[in-house]
Chains A and B, each alone.
Chain A
Amino acid sequence: MSGLAARGLIAKGLVIDVPGRPDGRPLDLAVAPGQRWGVLGPNGAGKTTLLHTLAGLRPPRAGEVSLDGRALARWRRRALARRLGVVFQERHDDFPATVRETALIGRHPFLSPWRQEGPEDLARADDALARLELSHLAERELATLSGGERQRVSLATVLTQAPDIWLADEPTNHLDLHHQVAAMALLAGQAERGRGVIMCLHDLNLAARWCSHLLLLYPDGQACWGPAEAMLTPAALERLYDQRLVTAWLDGAPVFVPAR
């Protein structure tokens, strides 16, 4: 390990590959341990593409992403999966599976081909399910769950995986208010334990409350990023969403409401 500066997930001169879009501004940012990054942007700005590129799941158009000083392309997929965890926005539940089986696949990168999941793996999965208030659903089929419950199973799977870097694509999708807060508290708790977190969000106010850093992604490839307080200016956000906002202050923190 080459010193503290290289730790975490680092993008250098990164241009994500959104077909038919100019390069825009290359991204230079680091998701360091303990940081909670939020990615904001309108539909089609490339938030999911960015997240997948940061996870090494699709190649960038230019630039490089590295983890602990080594380019993602030079990591073995399995070794990478022990360090990076991805909460996907889209899921494929074509085949039957129970909630517990689904949480257990988070242990896949840690088990050799012949190893069965042991009691320790089961305990990790069950802890994750309990943390997401899913214990009572452990034996249920995924197909019988609601969208919000299914979303929590996805979080439980990555919690079972226990990665150093969390990449979460709209982790509060489909969640009710209580579980939105619970999900953000979970990610914040991970950051407190020295993990890096980067998440795509649609809710400005969740981002304002829970993120330490923000990246604003514009549809034309332009971007700006930095500490959350510096990024949460009404002018920048209004340009981002092409939507007038009303700012209120609550307990010293801004609350953004779309104006009519």
Chain B
Amino acid sequence: MAVIQFTLNGKAQSIDVDPEMPLLWAIRNTVGLKGTKYGCGMAMCGACTVHFNGQPTRSCSLPMSAVAGSSITTIEGISEDTTHAVQRAWIEEQVAQCGYCQSGQIMSAVALLKNNPNPSDADIDAAMAGNICRCGTYPRIRSAIKKAAQLTASAAK
């Protein structure tokens, strides 16, 4: 066990955990934020995507030893009231079905739009190909990302 300090959704965290424990389980079971999901445990499905120092990262494969001193953002940290442009677009386009993978999808989409405010279909496919959705919401994910880009652009005007 080791005391590991990091920033979680803008607040200082200090938890005593096995340094080998993946960030996913620390967030879910130690801190108790359950919005980030377990899907595959080997960074193949993206359900556990969080932002690690701003970069979309699979938390199931990131040991806590690597998290010390970093800044982590989870789905709970992107807005207080589901008003992030990506979340609004997700609801407008009625993306989710079962919803289990959507936290990860949204975290990948937020990161994409931060780097590329006006992504093409090819950009979207490239940035989102690491996130599996077994319900098959991909066509709506594509339109929601474009809608979020519009919402962000019109808010900036």
Whether chain B is bound by chain A comes out as: no
Which residues from chain A sit less than 8 Å from chain B, CB to CB? Answer: none
